[in-house]
Structure 1
Amino acid sequence: MSKILIVEDETIIRTALRKLLERNQYEVSEAPSVKEATTRYQLKDFDLIISDLRLPGAPGTDLIKLAGDIPVLIMTSYASLRSAVDSMRMGAVDYIAKPFDHDEMVTAVKRVIGKAKAGKLASQSTQTASHAIAGMIGNSDVMQDLYNRIHKVAPTAATVLVHGETGTGKELVARALHEESQRANHLMISVNCAAIPETLIESELFGHEKGAFTGAATNREGLVAAADGGTLFLDEIGELPLEAQARLLRVLQEGEVRPLGSVESRKVDVRLVAATHRDLRKLAKEGKFREDLYFRINVVQLELPPLRERGTDIITLAESLLQRYCTQFGKPLLQLSADAIRAITTYTWPGNVRELENAMQRAVILCEDEREISSELLSIDMDAAPFEEDEEGDLAFAARTSVGRNLRGQPQDAGEDLSLEDYFQRFVLEHQDSMSETELARKLGVSRKCLWERRQRLGIPRTRAASASSLAK
């Protein structure tokens, strides 16, 4: 049974969290401060430490150094996001923002403990430790898993299908597979199947004989043959016409290619790495992609995570890009402002790393400040941001306001098993007659959209008074 230490000064939150974790089969200890945690316990005896960022006396981040190799998960309000990011830089394994759902907390705990145990097993084994891929930045769990899979499959001759959204770096993965293979001394030929007209794709890939079609004035070697001995990277293979798919299947099955207009085939030794953002299985069922080719290329599939699922990797990426473009454009080394960090970490980045690169490049070019990049320069749609600043710098509905009190204003029994949803519900019911929706959201540290969604989930209708107040504002 994994052992967890909770360091939280508010008794009601600490007790509720302890009971939640105990229900999920964890052995839990608790302390109200860093001093008591280090006095009463040996931190090395725990598998995980969960600490509030703000504590009486020393801050929760002090536990990061004191705990050594024991992972520390920091709890913070949405309004303290900059501090949370700073704590990650100091070595916190992750942070979780209040208010959080029970499932969110349990998932985070399982992920952190699982990663820590996997790390210990890896360090005890003789297997080669994972290391980052050239050109790829990030140390999140999903990226570490991707690096490991690349290192495992690269030395083999297996065909690889790389799947990921636009801008996630599929060609970087293909390049890494080539450079870590035994074919590294030969060419890697990259072809964007979506960029070549359908009438020319077969000629480009497989070559043609003189006179094979109008305009074929000479013999021409195709890109498949040019990659002989090396790697052929077909980006957006889902856009390949069915006729070309049939020819590619022959290359993979027979190891030979026949140019257009030729009656002879030539042997080729090519390793195929294909990439797509589309669902090839679905396309195969719809008859838009050959099913036999799909099964042939889907030997090993590597999934590239979108930027929004890579946690604090996004800050590391943004800062790296910021430094690169400052150097490139002869600007002083700039920093990201607090509002820029908030914008970067809350935006969904549909264009992924490519979109982030464009945003950082644009911001550096347009920046007139010699110190910081503001969120306005990023041109990010902040309507998607799930939180707002709290003037008090903490989460009002948490332990520092009416949370922990009942509707009559009496202190709540610390032993009562209240969930964080209960705290949310109490605060809304207690204040919705006197606050607008915007004020409620700001005090709770969430967006109005998030407030509305939680109302729907918890069945808390808006009162007429609240609606009228909101309209009046």
Structure 2
Amino acid sequence: MSHILIVEDEAVIRNALRRLLERNGYQISEAGAVQDAVDTFKLTDFDLIITDLRLPGAPGTDIIPQAEGVPVLVMTSYASLKSAVESMKMGAVDYISKPFDHDEMLMSVERILKEKALERENQALKSQISRDFPLTGMIGACEAMQALFKNIQKVAPTDSTVLVLGESGTGKELVARAVHDQSHRHGGPLISVNCAAIPETLIESELFGHEKGAFTGANANRKGLVEAADGGTLFLDEIGELPLEAQARLLRLLQEKEVRRVGSVQSKTVDVRLVAATHRNLKSLAKEGRFREDLYYRLHVVELKLPPLRDRGDDIEKLARELLIRTARRMAKQEMSFSKEALDAINLYRWPGNVRELENAIERAVILCDGQIIAPDLMALDMHPESEYELDDDITLPTPRTSLTKHEEVPDPAEDLSLEDYFQRFVMEHQEQMTETELAQKLGISRKCLWERRQRLGIPRKKPAAR
């Protein structure tokens, strides 16, 4: 039985409405003013509140924000379009004029209660789906993934900072999205930033914004990505690559919930939840002085670990089959399947690039396949690599003895260096004199590609010497 609260100061109208609703099976409570209702009842216990617009003391619409989601139907003898619009703007679900028609009142009450019941059912269904399928887009039946799902369900409803750990390509951004989607911030923005993909000279401006004239090229005020995430979640991928200067600003954001644009003297309060991710050991970096120790402890509130694909057992084949279905549909191909040999290769391969490498291998196979059966050669998996990681062969070597300064000389090509040896030697010799951007330009690759190769080859990043 639905429980309805009537807030009406005229006893005759209040009694008539109560009798009408009770005859139709509703449980009724009454009050003569907004303050009486608030003092006497817990408003959230009701399924519907019917209130007069003109009441002694506060107007009937003042009960709307205190009802906390309980639908409010406003009625008044001063029927006008203006008062109806104002009531609806303040959150009333409907508006009815006095003297009201009995049938019209009953129809409005029935419709509102049905809509509210449907809303509750939908919310319950969403919650059930969220419990059964906690990570849209992620598949994981192994013990490590199931533990991850449970931890996400525990931390998502809070505002705690989350640190996601895992190798490159394991799906750290999907974990961040799951945390956001299952939080009370799911209606707000999720802003994702790869800290390794933004040049050092721009990262503070990108994250925190800048004022006009703050530096050369700052021709207008610009809002940063932190401000853009206000009311939602900020996901900082590869946070271990964040420069120390930007780390100090991020620490202030976590401590004070404030952000100050580059070149500004004023701070702005923001409501942002931070989810950070890295494949590196931040504690070790902090001991080496390459990551702020105080920021590390601010980030290390809740830790979520993603296992590498090679340790996920039967998940590998399940993921491969699901990715094949999705890729074939996306490319408007007929239903496809793996040959037995292809499945054997998928299960035996070590997948150093994790899920991202699996996705790319399947996309390549779908594009090249002439039939409906995926053969192992189409996935181009190197089952017997000479080393775990190889340098990509798209690197463009600088022309020897060009217009480089005495600090930028390249190795003599007569030394017959391999691409991997050349990369290591060039970076180690010049990283103290060049920025990451300059190194990438000289090598003919992107800054992100430079960063990825550093990780593969274990070359620590050093700051260039002051010029």
- Give the alignment's TM-score, normalised by structure 2: 0.53
Which residue does 1:292 correspond to in 2?
294
- Amino acid corresponding to residue 170 of structure 2 in structure 1: T
Q: 1:303 pairs with 290, 302, 305, which one?
A: 305
Mind listing any 5+ residue stretches in structure 1 that lack a counterpart?
1-127, 385-473
Q: Tell me the SS of whatever aligns to 1:137.
A: coil
Deviation at 1:374, TM superposition (A): 1.3
- 1:184-199 correspondence runs (5 A): 184-199=186-201
Deviation at 1:129, TM superposition (A): 5.6
Which residue does 1:255 correspond to in 2?
257
Q: Tell me the SS of whatever aligns to 2:274.
A: strand
Deviation at 1:281, TM superposition (A): 0.9
Q: Distance in 1 between matches of 2:371 and 2:189?
A: 45
Deviation at 1:248, TM superposition (A): 0.4
- Amino acid corresponding to residue 175 of structure 2 in structure 1: V
Q: Tell me the SS of whatever aligns to 2:200.
A: coil
Work out whether residues 210 and 262 of structure 2, in 8 Å CA contact, stay in contact via their aligned partners in 1: yes
Q: Distance in 2 between matches of 1:244 and 1:238?
A: 11
Which residue does 1:376 correspond to in 2?
377
Q: Distance in 2 between matches of 1:287 and 1:241?
A: 12
Deviation at 1:163, TM superposition (A): 0.8
- 1:455-470 correspondence runs (5 A): none
Deviation at 1:209, TM superposition (A): 1.3
Q: Distance in 1 between matches of 2:154 and 2:313?
A: 24
Deviation at 1:142, TM superposition (A): 1.0
CA-to-aligned-CA distance 1:40-86 (integer Å, 9 cap, x gap): xxxxxxxxxxxxxxxxxxxxxxxxxxxxxxxxxxxxxxxxxxxxxxx
Change (3 A) 1:207 1:329: closer
Which residue does 2:164 correspond to in 1?
162
Deviation at 1:130, TM superposition (A): 5.4
Which residue does 2:202 correspond to in 1?
200
- Amino acid corresponding to residue 288 of structure 1 in structure 2: R
Change (3 A) 1:376 1:257: same
Deviation at 1:131, TM superposition (A): 3.4
- Amino acid corresponding to residue 342 of structure 1 in structure 2: D
Q: Distance in 1 between matches of 2:359 and 2:250?
A: 34
Between the two structures, name the one with larger relative contact order (CA 8 Å, sep ≥ 6).
Answer: 1
Q: Distance in 1 between matches of 2:329 and 2:194?
A: 31
Work out whether residues 168 and 354 of structure 1, in 8 Å CA contact, stay in contact via their aligned partners in 2: yes
Are residues 1:339 and 2:313 paired?
Answer: no
CA-to-aligned-CA distance 1:10-44 (integer Å, 9 cap, x gap): xxxxxxxxxxxxxxxxxxxxxxxxxxxxxxxxxxx
Work out whether residues 132 and 147 of structure 1, in 8 Å CA contact, stay in contact via their aligned partners in 2: yes
- Amino acid corresponding to residue 307 of structure 1 in structure 2: L
Work out whether residues 130 and 144 of structure 1, in 8 Å CA contact, stay in contact via their aligned partners in 2: no
Change (3 A) 1:178 1:285: same
Which residue does 2:414 correspond to in 1?
none
- 1:379-418 correspondence runs (5 A): 379-383=380-384
CA-to-aligned-CA distance 1:122-148 (integer Å, 9 cap, x gap): xxxxxx965341010121111111111
Q: Distance in 2 between matches of 1:204 and 1:258?
A: 12
Q: Tell me the SS of whatever aligns to 2:304.
A: strand
Q: 2:358 pairs with 352, 356, 381, which one?
A: 356
Q: Distance in 2 between matches of 1:362 and 1:218?
A: 43
Task: Give aligned-pair identity as a percent.
Answer: 66
Q: Distance in 2 between matches of 1:208 and 1:329?
A: 42
Q: Tell me the SS of whatever aligns to 2:149.
A: helix
Work out whether residues 154 and 177 of structure 1, in 8 Å CA contact, stay in contact via their aligned partners in 2: yes
- 1:133-172 correspondence runs (5 A): 133-172=135-174
Q: Tell me the SS of whatever aligns to 1:199.
A: helix
Q: Distance in 2 between matches of 1:306 and 1:247?
A: 32
Q: Distance in 2 between matches of 1:169 and 1:187?
A: 19
Deviation at 1:327, TM superposition (A): 2.2
Change (3 A) 1:311 1:190: same
Work out whether residues 134 and 153 of structure 2, in 8 Å CA contact, stay in contact via their aligned partners in 1: no
- 1:110-149 correspondence runs (5 A): 131-149=133-151
Report the number of matched residues.
Answer: 257
Which residue does 1:122 correspond to in 2?
none
Mind listing any 5+ residue stretches in structure 2 that lack a counterpart?
1-129, 386-467
- Structure 1 vs Structure 2 CA RMSD: 1.6
Q: Distance in 1 between matches of 2:132 and 2:154?
A: 10
- Give the alignment's TM-score, normalised by structure 1: 0.53
Work out whether residues 307 and 349 of structure 1, in 8 Å CA contact, stay in contact via their aligned partners in 2: yes
Deviation at 1:227, TM superposition (A): 1.1
Q: 1:244 pairs with 243, 246, 250, which one?
A: 246
Misfit runs of 4+, over 3 Å:
128-132
Q: Tell me the SS of whatever aligns to 1:200.
A: helix
Deviation at 1:160, TM superposition (A): 0.2
Q: Distance in 1 between matches of 2:332 and 2:219?
A: 49
Q: 1:275 pairs with 254, 264, 277, which one?
A: 277
- 1:81-92 correspondence runs (5 A): none
Change (3 A) 1:329 1:226: closer
Work out whether residues 208 and 261 of structure 2, in 8 Å CA contact, stay in contact via their aligned partners in 1: yes
Q: Tell me the SS of whatever aligns to 2:344.
A: helix
- Amino acid corresponding to residue 204 of structure 2 in structure 1: E
Work out whether residues 161 and 275 of structure 1, in 8 Å CA contact, stay in contact via their aligned partners in 2: yes
Change (3 A) 1:354 1:291: same
Q: Distance in 1 between matches of 2:291 and 2:201?
A: 18
- Amino acid corresponding to residue 230 of structure 1 in structure 2: G
Deviation at 1:328, TM superposition (A): 2.7
Q: Tell me the SS of whatever aligns to 1:382.
A: coil
Q: Distance in 1 between matches of 2:332 and 2:244?
A: 49
